[in-house]
């Protein structure tokens, strides 16, 4: 009688083949999925800045005009503080300043509205004097500078300086006669370590040494410091990428990779391939030894 030759049952063989095919299919799709996740426009990047001399610590919130919970951009910002960027879904928001620790149901000290566009970056800044404070929406241009350069703007917020000039010692002028409470446009200057001198009528000049790395985008805030002028360097973006520095994610946007999404595809595909291959090998070994 002819020897019996073991063979795979159709259901087992089908499971093994399907596992291998699905694994190969997922691996082929992964590059496209990853590329799509990296190129789809995402949320807006938004941060808060407290630059009103004499005003106490503030909490800054952004409340969607369509309803929903407010987002805290800064829980306790003191004068001179610039909070990290946060991601906000595109749309309209009501921005509100209250004393730190105040109930969100209390009347705000300042409020304004703005519309966040996908992929754009904004600084929501308290500016002006204690007698006439205001909330301003500043559009942050994070376009990478030319090679070997940085993009810099000035944000004058020192009460002792109606106008201020900031120049690099033995280097370029960053801004000339910039008006209190009025940010300048970004300007390209050579990268490097500079000693900046801030001067204004009625206030002694102040110097600050800064390291402006090539490819970076910076805001220089001129503030009151111990009866004189001070210059604070805020990094808006670093390197050749335009992703803002210090961003704290507040929700998934178009560029966010969802949990179990494209980043997980290779692991799933490999698991399917391994499982299917192992099943086939095991069955073949059984067939040889029977």
Measured CA to CA, the distance from residue 81 to residue 104 in angstroms comes to 21
pLDDT of res. 286: 47
The pLDDT of residue 33 is: 38
Closest-CA residue to 46 (of 259, 239, 253)? 253
pLDDT given for residue 54 in this prediction? 95
pLDDT in tens, 50-93: 999 999 999 999 999 999 899 999 999 999 999 999 999 999 99
3-state secondary structure at position 269: helix
- In the chain, the percentage of residues whose pLDDT exceeds 70 is 68
CATH number, span 41-140: 2.60.40.1120
Whether the pLDDT of residue 244 is over 90: the answer is no
Dihedral of alpha carbons 126, 99, 53, 174, sign: negative
Closest CA to 92 of 122, 59, 48, 50: 122
**pLDDT tens, position by position, 118-158:** 999 999 999 999 999 999 999 999 999 999 999 999 999 99
pLDDT-derived band at 222, boundaries 50, 70, 90: very high
How far apart CA 131 and CA 110 sit, in angstroms, is: 12
- Average pLDDT value for the chain: 77
Q: Read off the pLDDT of each residue in 254-264 and give the average, rounded to a whole number.
A: 32
How far is it, in rounded angstroms, from Cα 235 to Cα 222?
A: 14
Strands 149-157 and 217-225, sheet pairing: parallel
Counted residue by residue, the chain has a size of: 290
Cα 168 to chain centroid, rounded: 28
- Residue 28 confidence (pLDDT) above 70: no
Confidence tier at 240 by pLDDT (50, 70, 90) = low
Position 70 scores a pLDDT of 95
Q: Is the pLDDT of residue 100 over 70?
A: yes
CA-wise closest residue to 174 among 204, 141, 202, 207: 207
Q: Give percent of the chain with pLDDT exceeding 90.
A: 62
Confidence of residue 34 (pLDDT cuts 50, 70, 90): very low
Q: What band does 41 get if pLDDT is binned at 50, 70 and 90? A: low
Give the confidence band of 164 by pLDDT, cuts at 50, 70, 90: very high
Q: Which residues make Cβ contacts (< 8 Å) with residue 123, sequence separation at least 6?
A: 46, 47, 48, 49, 82, 137, 138, 140, 219
277: pLDDT strictly greater than 50? no
Judged on CB neighbours under 10 Å (0-12, 13-18, 19+), 10 is exposed
Q: What is the reported pLDDT for 29?
A: 41
DSSP state of 174: E
């Amino acid at each position: 009688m002819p020897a019996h030759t073991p063979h795979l049952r159709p259901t087992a063989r089908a499971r093994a083949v399907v596992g291998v095919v699905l694994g190969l299919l997922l691996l082929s799709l992964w590059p496209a999925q990853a590329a799509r996740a990296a190129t789809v426009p995402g949320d807006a990047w938004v941060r808060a800045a407290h630059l009103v001399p004499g005003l106490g610590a503030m909490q800054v919130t952004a409340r969607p005009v369509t309803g929903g919970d407010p987002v805290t951009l800064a829980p306790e910002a003191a004068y001179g503080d610039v909070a990290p960027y946060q991601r906000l879904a595109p749309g309209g928001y009501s921005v509100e300043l209250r004393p730190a620790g105040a109930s969100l149901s209390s009347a705000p000290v300042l409020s304004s509205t703005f519309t966040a566009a996908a992929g754009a970056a904004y600084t929501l800044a308290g500016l002006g004097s204690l007698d006439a404070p205001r909330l301003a929406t500043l559009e942050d241009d994070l376009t990478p500078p030319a090679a070997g350069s940085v993009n810099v703007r000035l944000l004058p917020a020192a009460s002792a300086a109606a106008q201020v000039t900031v120049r690099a010692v033995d280097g370029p002028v960053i801004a000339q006669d910039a008006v209190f409470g009025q940010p300048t446009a970004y300007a390209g200057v050579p990268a490097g370590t500079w000693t900046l001198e801030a001067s204004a009528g009625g206030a002694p000049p102040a110097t600050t040494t800064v390291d402006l790395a090539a490819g970076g985008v910076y805001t220089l805030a001129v503030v009151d410091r111990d009866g004189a002028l001070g210059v604070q360097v805020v990094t808006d973006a670093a390197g050749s990428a335009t992703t803002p520095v210090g961003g704290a994610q507040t929700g998934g946007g178009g560029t966010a990779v969802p949990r179990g999404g494209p980043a997980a595809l290779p692991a799933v595909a490999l698991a399917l391939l391994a499982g299917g291959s192992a099943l086939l090998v095991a069955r073949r070994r059984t067939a040889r030894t029977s």
